[in-house]
Amino acid sequence: MQILISNDDGIGAGGLLALKKALDPLGEVHVVAPEQEQSGTGHGITAHKPLRPKQVEMGDGTMGWSVNGTPADCVKLAIEALLPKAPDIVISGINRGANLGTDVLYSGTVSAAIEGIINGIPSVAVSLATYENENFQYAAAFVARIVPVLAPGGSAASEFTLININVPSGQPRGVKITRLGSRRYVNVFHKRIDPRGGVYYWMAGEPEDSVPQNPTVNADVDAVAIKNNFISVTPLHFDLTEYRTIPKLINLLPVLSHPK
């Protein structure tokens, strides 16, 4: 099996190396990752400057590709230029910090996996829901167990669906198949002045409690699963169409097509 792994924490991140170590027994693992941290870059791609991939030695002594671009750049470049053949599966992570609910719209980790499914390749994004106790080994082992069923020929293989996995910081109580919840942040912009008198801002903030008021009604939400110490497994797709609104808009076509 040809496996491509990437991330948004950068080529030197511990989660990337732990993931590679767990996946090495499953096939040929190719690493193409950003040279610097790219957290929160979403699905941005680089069009205003050249991408300069470099082969670098990783912590396990093997070679990987470091790219001066975004996570989406890395996967796109790997598939279209760097690898001798398209990978069978794309894995992005292991991210420091959860990617729950609306986080996925900002997440470089998830966007790297989305780039995989845009190219028709089954993909997985995996995140550890902590910034402190970075025990990536459990999350990596879980991914290694799920990859064979998601890869081509597996019982849950789907070329246009990515699986977003979030692993709690403590010992998981089990696994929940979930849907995206809501993840809102209380952002604070710190205003500062540079030595030349220019104004600049640092954004800081913390997530609000993303768990619904009635968690029994929303037991299938990803944030609820993580709060209750379960692994969250959420299938995602890049199709953002709001299908329920289409019939309403169709009914408006006479008005929209013949303005007064």
Q: What is the pLDDT of residues 38-69, one digit of tens each?
A: 888 889 999 999 999 999 999 999 999 999 99
CA gap 19, 48 in Å, rounded: 31
CA–centroid distance for 41 within its chain: 11
Q: Which domains does the chain have, with CATH numbers?
A: 2-178+215-244 (3.40.1210.10)
Rounded percentage of the chain residues whose pLDDT exceeds 70: 92
DSSP structure class, residue 153:
T
DSSP structure class, residue 84:
S
The secondary element (H helix, E strand) that includes residue 226 is: helix 222-227
Q: How confident is the model at residue 217 (pLDDT cuts 50, 70, 90)?
A: low
CA distances from 176 to 55, 101, 129, 224 (A): 38, 15, 15, 10
What confidence score (pLDDT) does residue 33 get? 97
CA–centroid distance for 62 within its chain: 24
Largest CA distance in the chain: 70
pTM of the model: 0.89
What confidence score (pLDDT) does residue 179 get? 94
CA gap 147, 161 in Å, rounded: 13
Amino acid identity of residue 203, one-letter, is: M
CA gap 257, 14 in Å, rounded: 56
Share the mean pLDDT of the chain: 90
What confidence score (pLDDT) does residue 216 get? 55
CA gap 204, 201 in Å, rounded: 10
The mean pLDDT of 152-168, rounded to a whole number, is 88
Q: What is the pLDDT of residues 115-149, one digit of tens each?
A: 999 999 999 999 999 887 678 999 999 999 999 99
What confidence score (pLDDT) does residue 190 get? 85
Q: Are 127 and 231 in contact (CB under 8 A)?
A: no
CA gap 210, 222 in Å, rounded: 10
Residue-level length of the chain: 260
Query: Residue 42 has which token pair?
Result: 């979403």
Rounded percentage of the chain residues whose pLDDT exceeds 90: 69
Q: Among 81-90, 159-168, 189-198, 216-225, where is mean pLDDT lowest? A: 216-225
Q: How confident is the model at residue 259 (pLDDT cuts 50, 70, 90)?
A: low
CA gap 69, 111 in Å, rounded: 13
